[in-house]
Amino acid sequence: MITKHDSKLALVAIAVASLVFSGCSSKKDDMAMSDHAGKANTEVAAPAEPMETMEPVVMLEKPSTNSVYFAFDSAVVNDAGQMILSEYANWLNENTDVSITVEGNCDERGSREYNLALGEERAKAVRNILVANGVDGTRVDTVSFGEERPVCSRSGEACWAQNRHGDIVNR
């Protein structure tokens, strides 16, 4: 997990390295400069911005996935889901102006009512983990779509597994 402090250190290290290497020249450049010693230099360099005014902007990158997948007939978030939600919670804690909705989804097996209830449990499980990781609960809504919005419309475990998820979407 990359912290805000780690990100700042990395940006400072990159800035220092850029300054160090931009001040260095190779022997070839030195020789080329000495060849032109008596000639007028017609190139004008842009003035450098003073270091005091340059502040790095550190923003955590939004997690690459917004979906957490569930086992059949379960609303338990597995270890992979926990890691995704930890990253998402960090991002949300850095971007406090963002509010989200967690959408719970199920595969086609089970009654409509059962799947709506299970989808709601999944959405609430995702929400509870985000809140446990410091996200303000007023920024996280939940909704269940049950089996109504399948990602995959074929039958079989590989397809059903794709439909058992909780998605995080900006509201």
Report pTM: 0.66
pLDDT tens digit sequence for 35-91: 444 444 444 445 455 545 555 445 567 888 899 999 999 999 999 999 999 999 999
Residue 32, pLDDT > 80, answer no
In terms of residue numbers, what domain contains 49? 4-53
* 58 lies in some domain: no
Helices 112-132 & 79-94 angle (0-180, nearest 10): 60
User: Does one domain contain both 15 and 78?
Assistant: no
Sheet with 100-105, side-by-side order of all strands = 67-69, 165-170, 100-105, 140-146
User: Does one domain contain both 20 and 86?
Assistant: no
Q: Give the number of other CB atoms < 10 A from CB of residue 150.
A: 16
User: Does one domain contain both 103 and 46?
Assistant: no
User: Does one domain contain both 158 and 86?
Assistant: yes
User: Does one domain contain both 47 and 126?
Assistant: no
Share of the chain above pLDDT 70, in %: 65
Query: What local confidence, expressed as pLDDT, does residue 142 receive?
Result: 98
Query: What local confidence, expressed as pLDDT, does residue 9 receive?
Result: 43
* Average pLDDT for 141-149: 98
Nearest partner of 91 among 115, 66, 120, judged by Cα: 66
Number of domains in the chain: 2
